[in-house]
Structure 1
Amino acid sequence: MGRYVDEGKLAGILTVVARRGQIAHFETCGMMDVEAGKPMQPDTIFRIYSMSKPITSVAVMMLYEEGDFHLTDPISRYIPEFEETKVFVEKTETGLELADLERPVTIRDLLTHTSGLAYGIGDPSYVDALYEKQIWEVGRQRPETTLEEMVWRIAALPLAHQPGSAWRYSMATDVLGYLVQVVSGMPFEAYLQQRIFEPLGMVDTDFYVPQGKGERFAALYGPAKGGGLERLDVQGVMAFDKPTRRPSGGGGLVSTASDYMRFSQMLLNKGELDGTRLLGRKTVELMTMNHLPDGLHPSEDQSAGFGLGFSVVTDVARSQSLGSVGRYGWGGAANTRFWIDPQEEMIGLLMLQFMPGGYYPVAEDFNVAVYQAIVE
């Protein structure tokens, strides 16, 4: 992995592998902040972006276990603004042609990204353009916007497709974060702290980096036009230097390798870590099954399905990579990635801060390096 740093493609990388409950590999390479001359450290804090989604999904399923809702419940039962949501058909000279929902958007739809919601990032569709203008642009201009207000804005936008008819990555997990807040009666960020982070000993995971920890916060980089690295300014919608009124369950957390490994080990242990149980065994099994019907896939190679918050490998041969059927995980926009392989009792974690995602095949190289080392 170090060649990416040696060749000046990445500033720094942190990799961790655990097997059968023990750390087998924990290595840092390169710099967490090139300009400041700070080497990558074991306790470096990273923007994990969409690796926030599995954490939010666990919070949702904890409330599900407590009997607060059913997965088949319409989201409008808890967030009434979704009662009026329509489906986009086309843009006409006189406005938008919209259709009624064939069935309500359910909590399960949100967990599996089949709700019809959109993201507004990296997609040229008209609905995504609406998200960019009504959600992201408003967020940049009005940082005081609350989580509640953001979800209301999402509910006012049309769906990109009928619920359950397609897989589409979206802001569904941000809506789920608000669901946690509504159902629990606690601020979303407080629920995560009290019910997940504190019980698991995740001491550095939050929606912002406190002043006393700022020296450990990694810089974010991208490719420079003339080669090498360019430091990125991404304060905009997601500023991590102070508490936010709009905690994003879909992409707003920062964390460390040690914290995320504790979360991952809890999942591999079927909901328990060091005597603390967050979820029942059968709940974790349900979350990590493929819930997509035939014909729906989150990847072009059709090698994976999607569970309740995770991508799930369904066909290793189609993936053209090493791994196991049933391996699950997810990644973040800055190329962080984790996966859990129950067959091998193994966890892989890749932490770096480089955008755009997938620019280099670093995740695949990490995957090969880990799996080729298995001898028993």
Structure 2
Amino acid sequence: MSEGMGKWMVVTEVVLFLLIMVIMVGQRLILNGQRDGNIALAEPLAELHESGQQQGTAESVESAAALSQVSTKDETDLDSFIKKSLDRANIPALSAAIVKGGKIVWSRAYGWSRVGIQPASSQTLFQIASVSKTVLAVAAMKAWEEGAFDLDQDINTYLPFKVKNPFAPNQPITPRMLLTHTATIRDQGKTMDSAYVWDRDSPIGLGEFLKDYLTPGGRHYNPVLNFYADSPGSAFHYSNIGATLAAYLVEVTTGLPFDLYCQQKIFQPLGMKETSWRLADLDHSHIAMPYGYDRLRRRYYPYGLYAYPDYPDGLLKTSAPQLARFLLMFINYGQLEGVRILSRETVEEMRRVQNPAVDPQQGILWYYKELSGWKLLGHNGADMGVGAEMFFRPEDGLGVILLMNGDRTLFNEKIIKELEIRLFKEAENQK
């Protein structure tokens, strides 16, 4: 190979890598919290990065046969099924939990928090993507219980800047619309992609980012790209920015930063001692590294830990057992072990389908789905190099949590669904 040809190939790979990273960051707009049927939209993005990715870091190592998972002497059929599923799905690690009868009846971790270096454990923290919105919902309804705002009042009554859909300027946007994805606020890819930062929290505050995004004259404002043409309240459009605006509403009306409000009102009372929205609050070595997978070269590659300004829509970090305590609180209508977070009536309202004519599945950010004949309530999530599922059966309070540190794509979505079904079936057999 000539020297010129070699240089050309290096430059080509660098350009391709940068292009792939931009596209993969955009996965959040497609994947983060989208209902299961929509996750298939990510496959074209996945195929591009899988055919050309070569990060070339020390942590890029082979998977499959080269990475034997940690085994135990008492390995069960379930353990074997999960390990094989992770290998098929090209996901380095899974931490899972089952809740039943008001308690955690099973919790286990598999695979690698840092590939080839650090095995995952039940204490490993995972970024839970849009499952974060279930916590956002509880925080918002806690603030509502405390009288901070009215669910059906114009949000401009409370905000320090005015937010209007330019296609329907006379129709107010309400907190309930923000919490049901009917506020007609659109996620704009270019702006959200450019806001990612690595190995630190975003220096941009919620208010600054949202004002720039939602108000005329803001540096990210675009009336066509940032809003849908529907009238607020009339149509369902999944919105990360809309959910983040609900979190900012909590911040404005309670006088506490949203992350601190969650710490004081949710995490501390529930004993979730190593749960946070912020990287600065956590030991980074305790957080599972987000990974992609190059199917052509059969190698994992780390994305690095990252953040963005609209953190309430997807950046909560926690472990499966800690998240299970939060889920048990919600299953038990707002209380756990004598600690009450929300009133029973508030949780009942959150579980209620808010506008059946617009969306027959949507509660207050939590939503219903059908899986293998079961009706479940919860949320899913996916972001760059992470995935999560948290659902329970309202009829009997049986719930399952899956936290993963790999990309979700059309290629592995069926496998993740099979994992979820298997754990629900296992839950039925747990005592």
TM-score range with shorter-chain normalisation?
0.7 to 0.9
Alignment of 1:184-199 (within 5 A): 184-199=254-269
2:172 is matched with which residue?
Answer: 104
What is the Cα deviation at residue 182 of structure 1? 0.5
What is the Cα deviation at residue 4 of structure 1? 2.4
Q: Which has the higher helix share?
A: 2
1:52 and 2:132 correspond = yes
What is the Cα deviation at residue 236 of structure 1? 5.5
- In 2, distance between residues paired with 1:273 and 1:358? 37
- In 2, distance between residues paired with 1:6 and 1:105? 45
Alignment of 1:162-201 (within 5 A): 162-170=231-239, 171-201=241-271
- In 1, distance between residues paired with 2:291 and 2:123? 19
Is the contact between residue 113 and residue 167 of structure 1 (CA under 8 Å) also seen in structure 2? yes
1:66 is matched with which residue?
Answer: 146
What is the Cα deviation at residue 254 of structure 1? 0.8
Alignment of 1:121-160 (within 5 A): 121=189, 132-133=190-191, 135-138=192-195, 143-156=202-215, 157=221, 158=223, 159-160=227-228
Long gaps (5+) in structure 2: 1-81, 216-220
Alignment of 1:21-100 (within 5 A): 21-35=102-116, 37-83=117-163, 85-87=164-166, 99-100=167-168
2:374 is matched with which residue?
Answer: 323
TM value normalised by structure 2:
0.71
- In 1, distance between residues paired with 2:313 and 2:150? 21
1:165 aligned partner, one-letter code: S
The 3 A distance-change label for structure 1 pair 280 and 154 is same
Among 164, 184, 188, the alignment partner of 1:116 is 184
1:17 is matched with which residue?
Answer: 98
Deviations 1:276-319 (A, max 9, x none): 1110111101101111332x34xxxxxx6111011123xx4xx5
The 3 A distance-change label for structure 1 pair 49 and 64 is same
2:284 is matched with which residue?
Answer: 214
Alignment of 1:286-365 (within 5 A): 286-294=349-357, 296-297=358-359, 305-313=361-369, 316=370, 321-324=372-375, 327-333=376-382, 334-356=386-408, 359-360=411-412, 361-365=414-418
The 3 A distance-change label for structure 1 pair 211 and 250 is closer
- In 1, distance between residues paired with 2:170 and 2:288? 46
Deviations 1:251-272 (A, max 9, x none): 1211111111111000001000
- What is the SS of the residue equivalent to 1:31? strand
Long gaps (5+) in structure 1: 88-98, 122-131, 239-245, 298-303
1:95 is matched with which residue?
Answer: none
Identity %: 26
1:2 is matched with which residue?
Answer: 83
The 3 A distance-change label for structure 1 pair 211 and 185 is closer
TM value normalised by structure 1:
0.81
What is the Cα deviation at residue 28 of structure 1? 1.6
1:270 and 2:338 correspond = no
The 3 A distance-change label for structure 1 pair 223 and 322 is farther
Is the contact between residue 389 and residue 401 of structure 2 (CA under 8 Å) also seen in structure 1? yes
The 3 A distance-change label for structure 1 pair 358 and 202 is farther
Is the contact between residue 144 and residue 150 of structure 2 (CA under 8 Å) also seen in structure 1? yes
The 3 A distance-change label for structure 1 pair 235 and 82 is farther
Alignment of 1:251-270 (within 5 A): 251-270=314-333
**With CA pairs under 8 Å and 6+ residues apart, which has the higher RCO, 1 or 2?**
2
- In 2, distance between residues paired with 1:308 and 1:8? 31
1:3 aligned partner, one-letter code: K
Deviations 1:79-124 (A, max 9, x none): 14234x233xxxxxxxxxxx33351111000000010012234xxx
What is the Cα deviation at residue 371 of structure 1? 3.5
